[in-house]
Structure 1
Amino acid sequence: MKDTSIQAFIQDLPKTELHLHIEGTFEPELMFKIAKRNNLTIPYADVDELKRAYSFNNLQEFLDIYYAGASVLIKEEDFYDLTWAYLTKVHEQNVKHVEIFFDPQTHTDRDVPFEFVMNGIYRALEDGEKQLGISFKLIMSFLRHLDEASAFKTLEQALPYKDKIVAVGLDSSELGNPPSKFKKVFQKALEEGFLTVAHAGEEGPSEYIWEALDLLKVTRIDHGNRCLDDSKLIKRLAEEQMPLTLCPLSNLELKVIKDLKEYPLLKMMEHNLLVTINSDDPAYFGGYMNENFWGITKALNLSKTQIAELAKNGFKASCLSDEKKEAYLNEIELLLENN
């Protein structure tokens, strides 16, 4: 089958993105534009030099530059522009629904008001729904390298926005920061009516996935690659159809894997795990949704049926209503039949 045929199929597929850090969509050109607008400097001479710095050996090296980039975001309009740029990009790739992470502590620790972050992102998401037809949910993530007291403070700041934030999550440096560190704040979030999700099993061990499930009561595991180290865990994830939000190009760039051909996606699908494809931090990792779908398709020689199953899984794992999920699943099935 010709590459162009598969790529066209991927383009035409309606898609949902469930694992996306809005700060990780900060393209170098926009970063320089906003830095100039705010009279700030970036420690790189130009866009090309910044792009060359996007070469990482591990998660921490990426996070260092990720936080440096985020430091130029100060005003509400900055967060609006960042989010709008992402939405216009994925609109071109036929993404229909997004569930976006944002990291308020990255900004409030720099004395940027919580409401600037929240209002800028949310206004752009509302405009994206009206003008581009992209529905959305917003997920607030706690930074796991900070302490639980900081997470509690952030949760308090979020309470006035309970109608706008569907869930809380957990991201940043995984190793040495197990989910159990945040058990109490997640319990409080659940009491306040938030859903919970958590990054687990990317660089951390399979035990972190167990903790996320049992202590944080999550409805999704973000990444979750290391579940394959534990047969009992695989069985549980399959039985519960617990979604795993995989990010192929991210895992490649951060050296979680050495080659996409080593990616455990097919093994996970054989175990009947509910795996989805996402872009994580696309500005830093070389691709948005279509690039992730195409990269993993090429590496593992996926069929159109398998690609369609992955797209379906994204909608199944989303927070959309059953009615909307069914409509998208039918649309994907019809596209598959016609291809």
Structure 2
Amino acid sequence: MQEWIHMLPKAELHMHIEGSLEPELMFQLAERNGIELPYASVAELKAHYDFNNLQEFLDIYYLGCDVLRTEADFYDLAWAYLQRAREDHVVHTEIFFDPQSHTDRGIAFETVINGLYRAFKDGESQLGISFHIIACFLRHLPEQAALDLYPEILKHRDKIIGIGLDSSELGHPPEKYLRVFQQAKQDGFKVVAHAGEEGPAEYVRQAIDLLAVDRIDHGNRCLDDEFLTAQIAQKGLALTVCPLSNLKLKVVKDLALHPIKTMLHKGLLATINSDDPAYFGGYINDNFKQLADAVGLSEDEIFTLVENSFKASFLPDDIKSIHLKALNAFG
């Protein structure tokens, strides 16, 4: 089954490009840009990847962001992810980036988006991987910071399909970002939000009812509310679930306790993704394989999860149909 999982064509819908910064590349970019990291080696850096919660991870995540300075850096970051995606037979990816993590350091928005976009266009032509880019707001910052940045995103709407909401969840409910999400919806962007990872089911409800999200990132805690879970299933809203991230950040105590089967049994459009793979121990196929072993996923359940990844994507329906036909022919 492991080889079958590996070969299945799939889409990835929840992957932070900054979270794919492998330690080796972090050190290379730090040297290239004359930056001294507070760790003497890759091994010493990796020793700090034993996180107790989301915030501990974010502290190192933002440290990694600091080595990204030039358009070439962002290109190299994205290209390294695309190489991994090709190995895992990802044929479509919808990635997040955190512009405020860079603009707040004085890096021009154009430097970030142009480097990323150029790499993904090359990945499309050279590797056959289609893509969408989603710009995420950092929820621990004031909404005004997002409103101030929004015109830059709007200026590059030819490169960016949607906006999202990530970073520290607890204490920062979706309602905090109501105005900027309303504006984005009005301007025709797709909108998504991290909700129900560490935050309660109420945050998932707010993401749906107030932000009118097109997709829910994580969403695990929706299962705490039966009515909400039924509502999500009825609406056909997808959950972009990240198993190894859930384990690494203590959202689940053991991968064997992951609620993916419950999600499927309740009719939720759940998908499998890698979140921040350089920090959480694996890319998309690692997530599929380790989860399948831990909870005993059947071939039918794995196939459904892969099928869901295309159904939940922001691809046009005719392109979705092409991918689903190819998947069914493979399966």
Settle same-fold status: TM greater than 0.5: yes
Q: How well do the aligned residues superpose, as a CA RMSD in angstroms?
A: 0.7
Q: How many angstroms does 1:322 deviate by?
A: 1.4
Letter in 1 for 2:119: A
Query: Which amino acid counterpart does residue 73 of structure 1 have in structure 2?
Result: L
Q: Distance in 2 between matches of 1:140 and 1:59?
A: 20
Q: Give per-residue Cα distances to partners, 1:113-159, cap 9 Å, x unaligned.
A: 01000100000000000000000000000000000010011111111
For the residues of structure 1 that align with 2:60 and 2:51, how far apart are their CA atoms?
9
How far, CA to CA, are the matches of 1:332 and 1:52 in structure 2? Answer: 39
272-281 or 159-168, larger mean C-alpha shift: 159-168
Matched with 2:269 is 274
How far 1:335 moved relative to its partner? 2.3
Q: Distance in 1 between matches of 2:161 and 2:35?
A: 33
Q: Given the alignment, which residue of 279, 296, 315 partners 1:284?
A: 279
Is the 1:249–1:279 contact (alpha carbons within 8 Å) kept by the matching residues of 2? yes
CA contact (8 A) 1:28 1:47 kept: yes
Q: Which amino acid aligns with 1:238?
A: A
Partner Cα distance (1:184, 1:22) in 2: 26
Q: What is aligned with 2:243?
A: 248
Of 59, 62, 67, which aligns to 1:67? 62
Residues 153-175 of structure 1, C-alpha deviations (whole Å, 9 max, x = no match) = 11111111011111100000000
Question: What does 1:138-149 correspond to in 2, within 5 Å?
Answer: 138-149=133-144
- 1:332 deviation in Å? 2.1
Q: Which residue of 2 aligns with 1:3?
A: none
- SS of equivalent residue, structure 1 residue 35: helix
Asked if residue 159 in structure 1 is aligned to residue 162 in structure 2, the reply is no
Q: How many residues align?
A: 331
- The alignment-based identity, stated in percent, is 58
Equivalent position of 2:330 in the other structure: 335
Q: Which residue of 1 aligns with 2:225?
A: 230
What's the counterpart of residue 115 of structure 1? 110
- Matching of residue 239 in structure 1 with residue 234 in structure 2: yes
After superposing the two structures, state which structure 1 stretch, 184-193 or 201-210, moved more: 184-193
* Distance of 1:234 and 1:114 partners within structure 2: 38
Aligned match for 2:9, one of 14, 25, 40: 14
Instruction: Tell me whether 1:214 sits opposite 2:214 in the alignment.
Output: no
When structure 1 is superposed on structure 2, of 316-325 and 142-151 the one drifting more is 316-325
Task: Please state whether the residue corresponding to 2:171 is helix, strand or coil.
Answer: coil
TM-score, normalised to structure 1's length? 0.97
Q: Quick one: distance in 1 between partners of 2:31 and 2:201?
A: 44
Q: Once the 2 structures are TM-superposed, how far is the Cα of residue 236 of structure 1 from its aligned partner? A: 0.5
Name 2:72's counterpart in structure 1. Answer: 77
Residue 305 of structure 1 deviates from its aligned partner by: 1.2
Q: Is the 8 A contact 1:308 1:333 kept in 2?
A: no
Query: 1:96 pairs with 91, 94, 105, which one?
Result: 91
Could you list the runs of 5+ residues in structure 1 that have no partner in the other structure? 1-5
TM-score w.r.t. the length of structure 2 is: 0.99
Match of 1:38 in 2: 33
Give distance in 1, aligned partners of 2:329 and 2:95.
Answer: 28
Q: After the TM superposition, list the runs of 4 or more consecutive aligned residues in structure 1 that deviate by more than 6 angstroms.
A: none
Distance 1:171 1:263 in 2: 22
Per-residue CA shift, 1:224-273, capped at 9, x if unaligned?
Answer: 00011101101101101100000000000000011011000001100000
Give secondary structure in 1 for the equivalent of 2:144.
helix
2:321 aligns to what SS in structure 1? helix
